[in-house]
Structure 1
Amino acid sequence: MGLGRRLLWLLFLLALLAFLLPRAGRLLYPLPYRDSITTYAHREGLDPLLVAAVARVESKFDPRARSEQGAMGLMQLMPETARLAAGHLGMPFAPDRLYEPDYNLRLGSWYLARLLDEFGDVNPALAAYNGGRGHVHEWLDSGVWDGSYGNLRQIPFTETREFVRKVLRDYRIYRLLYSDVR
């Protein structure tokens, strides 16, 4: 096979990979509830792909998910947190509605936006989403954690440390796969 023909095969294979990889990636990282995620994220000034990453890590997009601690729905909201969010949004609160994707995404997006406002950075905001606002303030105020990604290992809760790492990983992947969503 001549050099010209090898080059054509190589270009063909590269084009095929460029075509297939994003599609395969979207199978592994789907974006269900895309319209709702985009609507509620934009309403709160959030990147929809960050909201998607949180929902993927929290529940794998299972609207019926429930944790051992009692967190419910796509974004795994605790009923007390959801009640607070619903009150601020002027929405009626009913715990069973946390299994409704639109309701859960609306309240979860509001809460995530408040944490980002409160902490001013995605790392401590995500840590607070998982580990609680009080714990994160305590870690930051006492110097246990400086709030940086590079020092996630300083977070005392393994689950929270892993949550932040996984959400940020998935967020990067979503941004690569869904550049059309903003």
Structure 2
Amino acid sequence: MAKKSGVGKFVKRLLVLLLVLLVAGTVLFAAFQDKIERWEYPIEYSEYVTYYADKYDIDPLMLYAFIRTESNFNPKADSDAGARGLMQITEVTFDWIKTKIAPTEDLTFEDLYDPETNIRFGSYFVSYCLLRYQDDLATAAAAYHSGWGTVDGLLSQAEYSADGKTLDHYPYPQMRLYVKKITSSYQRYQEIYTAS
């Protein structure tokens, strides 16, 4: 009988210990989960992002989604297509944006490695795409990635757009993947930084 009660006490203590460890593990996981999510979805260059998001009337979290997708916050990033900087702007796009927002400034394509210049130009381009496509993020992202000509061509085809204004389907795998990355990244930024 004494053996049974000793075993019973041991089992109870073991269960209490396991319960305490489980609760402590859950609390630690919750604390670190927030840190891990913020590490995976960082907010960097906030001074520039906040300023240009406000100037061009864009949610800053959306700009972070573009920067994360395009360069993962590497200001020296270069692509195979010749795009550069945080928001991966090509020379042709840089030249076009320059005529819109900096026609008299002595800026060159090389200046896109500067975070502020890149975010300034990229923010304008995102805002232009959003304006052109009635604030539909997915269609604007497709245009940011593949160009307006491509998107406008797809919008004129019923199999890709029911209303001729927003894309319902993406025929190109890279475009489809890019749009998914932007929209899901933006959603995660909203969940992480606006949930309180």
The counterpart of 1:110, out of the listed 124, 129, 140, is 124
Match of 2:63 in 1: 51
Supply the distance in 1 between the matched residues of 2:186 and 2:43 (Cα, whole angstroms): 12
Supply the distance in 1 between the matched residues of 2:148 and 2:54 (Cα, whole angstroms): 23
Q: Say if 2:137 is the partner of 1:100.
A: no
| Greater length-normalized contact order (CA 8 Å, ≥ 6 residues apart) | 1
Structure 2 unpaired stretches of 5+: 1-11
Supply the distance in 1 between the matched residues of 2:159 and 2:114 (Cα, whole angstroms): 37
Deviates more, 1:6-15 or 1:28-37: 6-15
Q: TM-score, normalising length from structure 2?
A: 0.80
Q: What whole-Å deviation, never above 9, does each CA across 1:94-136 have from its counterpart, x for those lacking one?
A: 1000111100000000010011000011111000000110111
* Structure label with greater radius of gyration: 2
Aligned length: 176
Supply the distance in 2 between the matched residues of 1:72 and 1:175 (Cα, whole angstroms): 26
Q: Secondary structure at the match of 1:72?
A: coil
Supply the distance in 1 between the matched residues of 2:113 and 2:160 (Cα, whole angstroms): 34
Residues 144 and 155, structure 1, Cα contact 8 Å, conserved in 2: no
The counterpart of 1:77, out of the listed 89, 109, 114, is 89
Q: What whole-Å deviation, never above 9, does each CA across 1:15-68 have from its counterpart, x for those lacking one?
A: 433322111111222222122112111111111111111111111111111111
The counterpart of 2:53, out of the listed 26, 41, 65, is 41
Supply the distance in 2 between the matched residues of 1:143 and 1:12 (Cα, whole angstroms): 55
Amino acid at match of 1:61: F
Shift of 1:86: 2.1
Residues 53 and 170, structure 1, Cα contact 8 Å, conserved in 2: yes
Residues 73 and 98, structure 1, Cα contact 8 Å, conserved in 2: yes
Percent identity for Structure 1 against Structure 2: 31
Amino acid at match of 1:97: D
Q: TM-score, normalising length from structure 1?
A: 0.86
Supply the distance in 1 between the matched residues of 2:130 and 2:140 (Cα, whole angstroms): 5
